[in-house]
Structure 1
Amino acid sequence: MPETGFDMPACLERVRRRDEEAARMLFQELYPLVIKLVRSHLPRRTGEEDLVQMVFMKIFTHLDQYAGKVPFQHWVSRIAVNTCIKVLRAEKVRPEVRWADLGEDEGHVLDLLASTQEELNPDQSLASRELAEKLMALLNPEDRLVMNLLTMEGRSIEEVKQITGWNESVIKVRAFRARNKLRKHFKQLMREERR
């Protein structure tokens, strides 16, 4: 995180002593990081503010478990990502998207992608993003997380490693398998559209 003049160790010590003002300051300092992570891993049926609240409850509840071996923001990131994964698992996302599930704009984008090599114009990019999100929702939470971090956010393998705690091989294998699953689902949609 950028240097803000915020004294994290002192604030954490005050929060551990139940200082409410320090807890508010810590919340304000961490909110941008947590909301960014939540938005990039947002489950379908859970509102982002509800999820942010869950993350902060876990942070404050488990603050005594923070040993200081990693930067505090990394510890918070891991809590946020794990909370999102658990909520995604709990939602048990439906395992497929059918052509009938797509909106008119998404169907049009899919037709365009199948029939041309041209770039999408800006009014079609929203529909293509929605289509991509529907396809991403078909992945299991861990694969979706890796694809979001690597592809959507453009993070490096090293950054993904720090956020998830997974080793480099696991990250690469998950990304490879997730890409193959996305291709399979996309081809399935294309076959269904041609019927």
Structure 2
Amino acid sequence: MAGPTPEEDLQMVQAVLARDEAMAAALVERIHPVVSRIVRAHRLRRVDEEDLSQMVYLRVFSKLEQYSGRAPLEHWVARVALTTCRNQLKHELRRPELRRADLTAEQDEVLDLLATTDEDLPAHAASASRELVDLLLGELSPEDRLIMSLLYLEGRSLEEVGQATGRSVGSIKLRAFRARRRLRKSLDRLLQERLP
């Protein structure tokens, strides 16, 4: 089944610009898969996936009058989404270090538990601890993050990680060692930080 033609896309956009709320809702429903896919692929450390999606939708609607109809609407939305994600990443790179103030109350509680006990974390802290791990992994390069995720979150062997990344087992070991050291340093820094 073929998608809408550029002319139909342009009609939809013009209806949205004319404040047709039903058409605006239909537009959001239609572009949601594109926005979600791009946001997930370019997920950022300090911005929740839902918040970043909202930023993309806001940008799409604020720039909608620029849509010319020469390409499918989804292609135009994808460009806007990628640009929004890229801009947010540039913003993060200006302040790349994860800070305790960036954490939610639940993640902060997990940090306090890590600092005060050697026992396993309680079950209610599982979600926040996973989010904290994701934030810490976000401090690594994309390749190191992939290696650490495959090794420690998915439980893959060194050989499997080597096949997935095209690197030798020795290279995987070295990168994992260095990444663990960087993660430890980041975690220690967070543990030493105290909120005012």
Amino acid at match of 2:164: I
Which has the higher Rg, Structure 1 or Structure 2? 2
Tell me the CA shift for residue 99 of structure 1: 0.8
1:42, 1:157 → 2: CA distance? 24
Deviation string, structure 1 residues 77-109 (Cα, Å, up to 9, x no partner): xxxxxxxxxx99x94554211110000000011
Residues 1:138 and 2:149 are matched in the alignment: no
Residues 1:186 and 2:187 are matched in the alignment: yes
Q: Give the paired residue count.
A: 118
* Secondary structure of residue in 1 paired with 2:97: coil
Cα pair distance change 1:172/1:145, threshold 3 Å: same
Residues 1:164 and 2:165 are matched in the alignment: yes
Tell me the CA shift for residue 118 of structure 1: 1.9
* Secondary structure of residue in 1 paired with 2:193: helix
**Residue equivalent to 1:44:** 43
Deviation string, structure 1 residues 41-72 (Cα, Å, up to 9, x no partner): 9541597xxxxxxxxxxxxxxxxxxxxxxxxx
Deviation string, structure 1 residues 108-143 (Cα, Å, up to 9, x no partner): 110011001121111111111111110000001111
Amino acid at match of 2:142: P
- 1:62-141 equivalence runs, <5 A: 91=89, 94=93, 95-141=96-142
Pairwise CA RMSD of aligned residues? Answer: 3.0
2:162, 2:89 → 1: CA distance? 25
1:43, 1:97 → 2: CA distance? 18
1:104, 1:194 → 2: CA distance? 11
**Residue equivalent to 2:17:** none
5+ residue gaps in structure 1? 1-37, 48-86
5+ residue gaps in structure 2? 1-36, 50-84
TM-score by length of 1: 0.54
2:89, 2:167 → 1: CA distance? 23
2:143, 2:121 → 1: CA distance? 29
